[in-house]
Amino acid sequence: MKTLQMERLTRAAFAPFGDVIELEGARHFAINGGTTERFHDLACVDVTEQGGRPLINLFRAQPRAWPVEIAMMERHPLGSQAFIPLTPGRYLVVVAPAGEFDPAQLRAFWTDAWQGVNYAKGVWHHPLLALDRVSDFVVVDRGGAQPNCDELALTEPWRLVFEASAEVAALVE
The predicted-structure confidence for 52-75, as pLDDT tens digits, reads as follows: 999 999 999 999 988 999 999 999
Structure confidence at residue 168 (pLDDT)? 53
Question: Which of these, 94, 97, 72, 96, lies nearest to 83 by C-alpha position?
Answer: 94
How would you classify the pairing of strands 107-110 and 2-8? Answer: parallel
- One-letter amino acid at 162 equals F
Q: Is the pLDDT of residue 49 over 80?
A: yes
The predicted-structure confidence for 24-35, as pLDDT tens digits, reads as follows: 888 999 988 888
The predicted-structure confidence for 107-146, as pLDDT tens digits, reads as follows: 999 998 789 999 999 999 999 999 989 999 999 999 998 8
pLDDT band at 170 (very low <50, low <70, confident <90, very high): low
Structure confidence at residue 167 (pLDDT)? 54
Dist. CA 93–CA 96, nearest whole Å: 10
Dist. CA 20–CA 91, nearest whole Å: 13
Q: Is the pLDDT of residue 169 over 90?
A: no
Structure confidence at residue 151 (pLDDT)? 96
Structure confidence at residue 24 (pLDDT)? 86
pLDDT (average), residues 74-84: 95
Average pLDDT, the chain: 90
Residues sharing a CB contact under 8 Å with residue 97, sequence separation 6 or more, in sequence order: 16, 17, 105, 123, 124
What pTM was computed for the model? 0.89
Residues sharing a CB contact under 8 Å with residue 6, sequence separation 6 or more, in sequence order: 92, 108, 109, 110, 160, 161, 162, 168, 171
Q: Is the pLDDT of residue 78 over 90?
A: yes
Q: How big is the CA angle at 135 (ends 139 and 159), to the nearest 5 degrees?
A: 95
Return the CATH number at 79: 2.60.120.480
Structure confidence at residue 88 (pLDDT)? 86
Domain encompassing residue 86 = 2-172
State whether residue 141 is helix, strand or coil.
Answer: strand
- One-letter amino acid at 77 equals P
The total of structural domains in the chain comes to: 1
Structure confidence at residue 21 (pLDDT)? 92
Question: Which of these, 94, 83, 92, lies nearest to 63 by C-alpha position?
Answer: 92
